Structures are given as C-alpha cells and as structure tokens.
A and B are shown apart, each in its own frame.
Chain A
Amino acid sequence: MKVRTFLIILLLCIAALGFGCGTRSEMVRASPSDNIAAADTDPLMQKAQSLIEKSPDLPIGYTQLAALFAKRARETGDFDLNSKAETAVGRALELDPADITARKLQASLSLTFHRFSKGLELGTKLQKDFPNDPFVYGVLTDANAELGNYDQAVEAAQKMVDLKPSTASYARVAHLRSLYGDHNGAVEMFKTAARAADPLDKEAQSWCLVQLGDELWKGGNYADAEKVYDEALDNLPNFYLALAGKGRVRAAQGDLAGAEKYLSDVQLRVPNPDAILLLAQVYKLLGNDLKANEQVKLFEAIEEKLSVIGDQKALALFRADNDLKLPEALAIAEQEYILRKDIYTADVYAWCLFKNGRVEEAKKVIDEALRLKTRDARIMYHAGMIDKALGNNKSSRDHLTAAIKLNPAFDLIQASKARMALDGPAKSE
C-alpha cells in the first residue's frame, strides 16, 4: 500500500514519456525564458519580454510587462490579465524587494484585487519612502475610500492633486466629491479628467466619460448621461462599461427593448454582475420570466460560486431586495461590514438588518451610510424604508421623496416600491 502513491507517480511518468514524445503534444517554448510560452504580437510586450530575456535578473522587464498587462486588463475587461501582472510584479519583487516601480504596481494591483487593507498597508509604507510621489497618494486615496476612511481619502487626494494635477488625480477628486454629495463639482471634475486624459489612451478617456455618465445618471440626468456614454462608445467602440451604462439609461428611460439590446451585448463581452441583474429586471418587466430567471441564476452562480468571501455585497443586496434567504444575506453583509466601513457596505448591511427585522440596528447603520450626505437614491430609499418601519414618518417621506426625485429609476423594481411606500398608508406614530 505504501508504495502505491509512489507507484502511481512513476506510472504516470511512463505514460507521460510515451505521450510526450509524439508531435501531437509538443509543448514548445518559444522563448528561452521559462515564463514566456508564446511570442507576443504587441511590440511593447515584445520589448518587455526581450528585456526579461536579456537581463533576467533585473526587475525592469517584469515591471514593464506588469504595467502592460494591467493596462490591457483595463482595456479589454479581461480580469485574468491582472493575475499575469501580479505574477510579473512578484518576479520583480523577488529580484529586488525595494524596486520602487514594482512596489507601486504591487500596491495598485492589491486594490484591483480588492485587497484594500493590503493596499493601504503597502501604500502607507510607500508614503514613508516616497512622500512626494503622486502615485502613492492615488493608492492611499483609493484604499481609504474603499475602506470607508473618507477623511484620510480626501487628505490623500488633496495631496495628490496638489502635487500633480492630472487625469488620475482629477478623477479621484471627482469621485470623492460625488461621495460627499457635491454632484455638480463631481460632474465638472470628471469632465476635466476626461479632457486631460491622454488622447492616445482611448481607454483612459472613455473610462472618465463613463464615470461622468454614471454621475449624471445618479443625478437623474439620463439624457446627458446617454450622450456621454455615446461619446465614450464613439471614442472606444464596444467599450463594455459604456455599453452597460447605455443599457442602464435606456432602462431608466423606459426603453426596455433598447436596454435589453445593450445589456445583452455586455453579456457577450464582459459579463458584469450589475449588468446581469439589471438585464434580469428588464426581462421581468418585458414579461419574459424565463429569461429573467436565467439571468438571476447566472448572477447567483457568479456571486455564490466565483466571488470571494467579503466581496459579495451585491448578492446580499439582491437577496434582501427579493426577500430571499434573508439570514444568509445578512451574514454575507455582516461579514463584509466587518472588513470595510464604506457607505455602500453600510447601506447593504443596514438593508439586510432591516429585512431581517432588526430595524433599530438598521437605523444606526443606515445613518453611517448617510454620513457623507451622498446623493445616492438607493441609500435614501433604504433610509426611508427603515424610518417608515420605525414610524419616523416625516423623515421617511423626506428620504423617499428625495430618492425618487433624484434618480427616479435608480432601480427598476425598488423605485416603484419606494413610490408605493410613499403613497401607501403611513405607519401610525
């Protein structure tokens, strides 16, 4: 028996030997470097790879490759390329743990992979070593904003934009303004960011435009949002984020057929949980329960089986919205709330508490979600519903009215529930 394991290994080797000698299974390595399986067609990639070949013990080729992979992941939506970027950065850091470029990329990739605490840690160390590097403050802004440390995020963004006004810093300023409820300021800054973006970097330009569109959508300005998404699509055809935005404004404007077209298109390119759920709602409103159900299942499969614990608030929100598996939804939201205290996590946690009948606690948490006075209709709706359950009729009405006024189609299904809650009989005080 003890020989068995060993034996199996050896037997497999025999098989492999026999198998490997045929032309059929040739695993040819094109490059002398063990890491590179096939020559790239992109000249920049080629260059970085040849640098690695030439000087395999220097980090520079690896960091260039990592930057290129991360860039291409943004452009294509192929998230997997970020893993390649991380592998390359890992190699660079093995060669030289102090390499500044590798350390920066490592920090920003941590955020890409939603390891916000790690990103914050790396960013803080970088700040000690390079206190005047704008990149470092970008990492700090993002990490702090995602973790709910908004004061620190603002401080870092201010430092970043003071050091070097640029698309990167403008976009962060705009994002924070949006969080702090300064809608107009955010719109202006996203425009500035879009105009300052590299005209040869279509992804950077269109990304800023999509952010602008999203901000306009949040403010209920669907027509302008659509124009901006269109411009993003003209600039970078089939950009998946712009297609999703376009689908969303179409749905908000009641053009369900149009929404279906754009959202389905997104599905074929880069499936995105938010877009999938929205498409499910669109199908439901179109009366196609079967297809709606398919989308819901897809959403659940992605969220339940493929996402990481602590990064599943979309699933918790979906369950709470639809009164499904509420205790589980609460557990998911709670888990994430332990990890990060940003307003969106707090919002989902509050909503799950509310749906599980823990209204008093929900009230406390939703107040946290409201702490920045963010103009976000969904948070306002949740606050309104919680207040209603508590009998705070005036406050409830204010929140619900504000939500509907701000973004009447913030959610195709929940928005009508908000309206019903306003019209329906108020709970006696």
Chain B
Amino acid sequence: MAPQKANRKQAKAHAMKFNLIVITNAIILFAAAGVFAHPLGNFSVNQYSKLEAGKTGIAIRQVLDLAEIPTFQETPSIDADKDGTLSDGELRAYLARISPAYLANLKLWMNGAERPIRVVKDAILINVGAGGLQTLRIEWDLAADVEPRDPENKINFRNDNYPERIGWREIVVNRVAGVEVFNSSAFGSGVTDELNAYPQESLSSPLDERAAEFSFALGSLPVGAKLLRNRDGHAAPAVQQDRLAALISVPKITPLIALFGLLFAFGLGAAHAMSPGHGKTVVGAYLVGSKGTPAHAIFLGLTVTVTHTLGVFALGIITLLASNYILPETLMPFLSFFSGLIVLYIGLTMFKTRLLALLGAAEHHHRSHIAPDHEHDLHDHVPHSHDGHSHTHGGTTHTHVPPENITWKSLLALGVSGGLLPCPSALVLMLSAVNLNRVGYGLVLTLAFSFGLAATLTCVGLLFLYGGKLFDGSGLKQNPIFRVVPVVSAFVIACLGAVICYNSI
C-alpha cells in the first residue's frame, strides 16, 4: 500500500472514530461544555507532546488543537476549491502542506546533537465548536531514530510553534518498560488526556510547557538520578508498550475489571430483557399455550442470543463501512438533526400516551400490554438513525403470533425475530468499544449482554412453564414503578431530542 494511501485510510479511520465519539457523545454527554465552546477560549492554539524513549528510538505523540477562531483563520487556506466545506482531500492536502514547517519547529537533541524527526502517521480532524464554528485537531505520531548508549542519553526537546498564541502547552515524558527515565524537567503524566479533556473550572493557569529535557538509560539508573515523577509527585510507572511497536496504546484491563464488566453487561442484558419489548409475554404465553418443554425454552434463549449478537456485529460493521463512503462530517449535522427530530417526536408522543396512561391507570391498564410492542419499534429506530441506516432496519416487523404447534423451525423463527432487532444499548456499547480501541473487549461485552438477554427470556419461559397459570402475563407490569418510570423516561427522551436538534444546527 502506498504510504499516502495508508495515511488516507488512517485519517479516515481516525475521522470515523472521532465522529462516532461525537455521535455517541452527542447523545450521552450532550451537556459537556466541549460541545458548545472550546474549553480554553476560542482563540487558543493548544499543543501537546508526549515523548517516549524506547530501545530503538524516541516516539513522539504530537497533538495540535486549534480552537474556533484560529481554525477559522486557517479555513481559507484549507478550503482549496472554495466550496465552503472542508473535504477530506483538502484536509489531507493542508496537513501535507503545513506539516513540514510545523515539524521543523519541533526540535529534538540527543546528547547535544539534533536528531531528525520523521512522521510515522498523522491525522487531521474537524470538530464542531462554539456557534457551529469548527475546530481543528491534528495528531502526529513521530519518531526519531537514535541509538541509545550506556550509561545515559540526554534528550532535549523544544516546541517553537505558535510562540505568541495563547493556549495550553503540555509536555509529557513516558517511561517504557525496560527503559529508565530520569532527571526529567517534564512530568510523567498528562493533564488533558492528549488535549481531549481540559480541566474544567480549574483555578490553575493553563500549562505552558514549551521545552523538556530528560535522560534515559537502557541499563540501570545512574547514581543520584532523579526518577521521573508524575504530576502528583509519585514515581511514574512504566507504560506497557513501546509506542513504536504499537502506536495505538490500549490501556490495560485487569482481569478483575474485565470480569466485572462482563458480569455487568450480563446483568444489563438481563435487566434489559425485563423492559417492555422482546415479546417476553408472547414467548411465555407461547411456551405455555403450546405445552413446550424446558429444552424449547433454552433453545429459544440461545437463538435469541446468537441472532442478537450477530445483529449487533453486523450493524457495527455496516456503520464502520458506511462511514468510509459517506463523509461523516457532511452527513453528521443532517443525521443529528433528523434523528433529533425523531427522538423529540417519539419522546413527546410517548410522554403524552404514557402520561395519559398513568393518569387513567385503572381503565387503561389493559391497554398497556399493547404499548410495549410499539415501543419496541421506536426503540430500534432511534439510535440507528444516528449512523444513517435506520431505514434499513425500519420496516422489519416481529412475528409474535403464536403458531399452533411447537416445531423446532417455528421456535427458531421466533427466536430469530426476537433477537434480530438488536437493541441500541448493545450497539452503543459496541461502538464505544470501537471508539476506545477495544474492539475485542466490546465484542465480548456484547456477547455477555446478549446472554443476559437470553437468560431472562429463557427464565421467563421456564417460569411460565412451571408457574403455570399462577403467573399472569401482565403480572410484571403491576409494579407501580413500571408505570411511573416510563413517563419520566419519555420526558427525558424528548429533552434529548431537543438537545440533539439544537446541537446539529
């Protein structure tokens, strides 16, 4: 693959990843200040460098984050065809043009001799900031090839870019396992997560770290060396991977946390199955009415799990692929607005119905078992619309009409239909995992979630089977919480819709 093409792909992947973050965050964290304005003032130019000394060289993670006004000032020189939008190609061309000058102002010396810095990988992204203005973020992964000597290698680093601009300047030095870093003027920990999360409401001045020096050794620490410290004063731990070896550093998940996550996902899946939808009552009634066996119930649960999991994976993959063909940044505002409208509409409608239902609880109570299936439809529409594919899933309908006799085939059909429409929560989980470079973990979590879902369904089936007529199908809905919570959630949904619409314009 030609390097240019590779870069392009990476940038796209980055852009896509970024937009997924934006999309999910728009739903979830719509109140985060970052959506409205650059947290550091809208004419700041912010820079971040992370230096990592490894056995074969120095890896530098360099991030440049331009707030609204500097981005606007740069826009004319990016927008080559003057069509008012910044295309992927234009952004790449701009990056290619400014990179050399920018990188020339990054200086690295080892033992007093200046070392050239080469680009391993770069990416340029556009985000939406205050007043609908854009902000620009450029990320470089850089490397300087050095041959460490014993016992000590002294590194000096300077960033002379934008010396006069207001902004956050952060330099971090990382310690790779097997390498000792000492006598460092910079800290071993960052503050902003690579300019992704500026401290809010902070009462300290913006960081102004323009240069750093440190020493490293492959062998043991020299006598009297001062260990690399984190900003809290503690010794900086070694990072697990050499960034040259694996540029995307995936934070470590301890087995305990992984297990906790899995259990949690399982529980959530189970809880989710308790929510209206998923045809539990129907499943139960079906099994009871058709004199099914426990084997039937378990088979049904498994089918749901498999279908559901596959559905989430498929959707995730479609989402990822689609964003390769349609520029997410052009699509995003429309999608957000559209989906916002839908959410708003749904929320208001539901709010109305549910409120009415709640107010006239007694007489309408029997209608409530109809509502879940309506909800289920909406349920599936909403979040999918954010990735632009709601239409592909739209018209699918459940077949909840119980057949006369149980056949394995009809069970399979029922299971598939129950699981075919993957619930959006699972999808969000999956996409978040992708965002966080944890695809594998995400898949496992999704699986656990599906199992939880299936377990509940199976249990419900079994309960119906063994509980017989003692357990009325609508019994689950007698709990008052199940009546009030829907009204509140409908209101929240309506608010969400309004916010999403607002943000997209």
Contact = CB atoms under 8 A, between A and B. Distances in A.
A293 to B, nearest CB: 9
Contacts of B86: none
Nearest to B375: A1
Given A17-B257, A21-B253, A84-B202, A8 B41 contact: no
A156 B299 CA distance: 86
A268 interface: yes
A24 B50 CA distance: 11
A11 interface: yes
B165 A268 contact: yes
A416 to B, nearest CB: 27
Given A18-B253, A23-B237, A30 B231 contact: yes
Interface string A17-43: 111111111111111010111111110
A22 B257 contact: no
Interface size class of B (residues with CB under 8 A): 35 or more
Interface in A85-105: 87-88, 91
A271 B206 CA distance: 19
A267 B260 contact: no
A1 B41 contact: no
Interface in A278-320: 290, 294, 297-298, 301-302, 304-306
A5 B438 contact: no
Contacts of A268: 164-165
Contacts of B305: none
B413 to A, nearest CB: 25
A196 to B, nearest CB: 29
A238 interface: yes
B73 A271 contact: yes
B445 A22 contact: no
A37 B204 contact: yes
Contacts of A164: none
A91 B203 CA distance: 10
A25 B251 contact: yes
Contact of B271 (A3, A29, A39): A3
Residue among A3, A294, A301 with the highest chain B CB neighbour number at 10 A? A3
Nearest to A1: B375
A33 B199 CA distance: 13
B204 A38 contact: yes
Interface string B35-46: 000001111100
B77 to A, nearest CB: 9
A290 B379 CA distance: 50
A271 B436 CA distance: 36
Interface in A39-60: 39-42, 45, 49, 52
Interface residues of A, number: 69
B425 A8 contact: yes
Contact of A294 (B76, B254, B260): B76
Contacts of B254: 21
Contact of B189 (A12, A28, A301): A28
A36 B68 CA distance: 26
B69 A298 contact: yes
Contacts of A35: 201-204
A1 B276 contact: yes
B378 interface: yes
Contacts of B190: 26, 28
B146 interface: no
Contact of A4 (B261, B379, B433): B379
A15 B21 CA distance: 12
Contacts of B174: 23
B252 A27 contact: no
B191 interface: yes
Given A30-B233, A78-B166, A4 B425 contact: yes
B197 A77 contact: no
A298 B133 CA distance: 11
A90 to B, nearest CB: 10
A3 B272 contact: yes
A7 B269 CA distance: 9
B275 interface: yes
A7 B239 contact: no
Nearest to A294: B76
Nearest to A26: B189
B406 to A, nearest CB: 30
A24 B196 CA distance: 12
Given A1-B375, A7-B268, A14-B261, A21 B131 contact: no
Nearest to B131: A305
Interface string B178-211: 0000000000011101000101011111111000
A101 to B, nearest CB: 16
Contacts of B432: 11-12, 15
Interface in B152-167: 164-166
Contact of B131 (A84, A271, A304): A304
Interface in B229-257: 230-233, 237, 239-240, 249-254, 257
B69 A2 contact: no
B261 A269 contact: no
B158 to A, nearest CB: 17
Contacts of A429: none
Contact of B166 (A17, A22, A87, A270): A270
A306 B130 contact: yes
B379 A1 contact: yes
B465 to A, nearest CB: 26
Nearest to B68: A306
B231 A36 contact: no
Given A30-B231, A36-B202, A39-B231, A15 B433 contact: yes
B105 interface: no
Nearest to B264: A14
Contacts of B324: none
A42 B206 CA distance: 11
Given A28-B189, A306-B131, A21 B251 contact: yes
Given A27-B197, A40-B205, A87-B201, A18 B257 contact: yes
Interface stretch (B115-123, B454-462, B484-492): B484-492
A30 B193 CA distance: 15
A400 to B, nearest CB: 36
Given A38-B231, A87-B201, A14 B131 contact: no
Residue among A22, A37, A40, A81 with the highest chain B CB neighbour number at 10 A? A37
A202 interface: no
B388 interface: no
A58 B268 CA distance: 46
Contacts of A17: 257, 260-261
Contacts of A290: 76
Nearest to B251: A22
Interface string A224-237: 00000000000000
Interface string B217-232: 0000000000000111
Contacts of B249: 22, 24
* 4 pairs of A and B residues whose beta carbons are closest in the complex: A22-B251, A305-B131, A80-B41, A2-B489
Given A40-B205, A305-B68, 10 more contacts: A1-B275, A7-B268, A9-B28, A11-B428, A18-B441, A21-B251, A26-B189, A36-B203, A36-B204, A306-B133
23 contacts: A1-B375, A1-B486, A2-B489, A7-B268, A14-B445, A21-B252, A21-B254, A23-B237, A35-B204, A36-B203, A38-B191, A38-B202, A40-B204, A80-B166, A84-B205, A87-B201, A91-B203, A270-B166, A271-B73, A297-B76, A304-B131, A305-B68, A306-B42
